[in-house]
Amino acid sequence: MSDPWFFGYGSLVNRATHDYATPRPARLGGWARAWRQTALRPVAFLTAVPAPGTVIEGLIAAVPNADWAALDAREWAYERLPATDVAHDLTGTPEIALYAVPQAHQAAPDVAHPILLSYLDVVVQGYAREFGEEGVDRFFATTRGWEAPVLDDRALPRYPRSQRLTPAETLLVDHHLDRLGVRILRD
């Protein structure tokens, strides 16, 4: 039996945040990303939401020996679901899962539950490195919830897997936030 795979569409696209040895680009049909908050966390985070006709890019990677424990722990506020419409370059049709916040626990982010800029930076850095600036454009276009405020925590990142961005990556994130008119809260 072959290993199962996961589809990452947020921070898991940034290879610096994990050590899965087999990541490769893929596309997931029928889903979009959305910023949501729950009572489980003090800040907003990305989740996948059903969106017929929408396709999002991300990475897939094998879960060796079907040992989901580490990934389930990392994604503890999410439920693991089957990802059935995934375009990839693998031979055959492996089992692929994605993580999504249960719909019953989702709410729109607010000032009390903002998006962490250090988290968004990690996600955009991953998309820029995997898919280029056009991929970053597609990330912003296929992600909902930009009316949420963003907390600028770059000086003292709160996101546990934060990464140092290059000046060009920082400008890319800031450009998209400015273009979308996202409200920035100062930490």
Q: Measure Cα distances from 176 to 22, 69, 97, 180 in Å.
A: 30, 35, 29, 6
Task: List, for residues 6-17, the tens digit of each pLDDT value.
Answer: 999 999 999 999
* CATH superfamily placement of domain 5-186: Gamma-glutamyl cyclotransferase-like (3.10.490.10)
CA pair distance 34, 109, nearest whole angstrom: 10
Structural contact between residues 170 and 118, judged by C-beta atoms closer than 8 angstroms: no
Tens-place pLDDT, residues 75-90: 888 899 999 999 999 9
pLDDT digits (tens, 9 = 90+) for 17-69: 998 888 999 999 999 999 998 877 889 989 999 999 999 999 999 998 888 99
Q: What percent of the chain has pLDDT over 70?
A: 99
Question: Which DSSP string do the residues of 36-70 spell out, in sequence order?
Answer: EB-TT-SSBEEEEEEEEEEEEEEEEEE-GGG--HH
Pair 159, 153: CB distance under 8 Å: yes
pLDDT band at 187 (very low <50, low <70, confident <90, very high): confident
User: 180 or 37: which carries more pLDDT confidence?
Assistant: 180
Across the chain, the runs of DSSP E, i.e. the strands, are: 5-8, 24-36, 45-62, 79-82, 86-87, 96-100, 115-116, 143-144, 150-152, 184-186
- What's the whole-model pTM score? 0.93
pLDDT digits (tens, 9 = 90+) for 108-123: 888 889 999 999 999 9
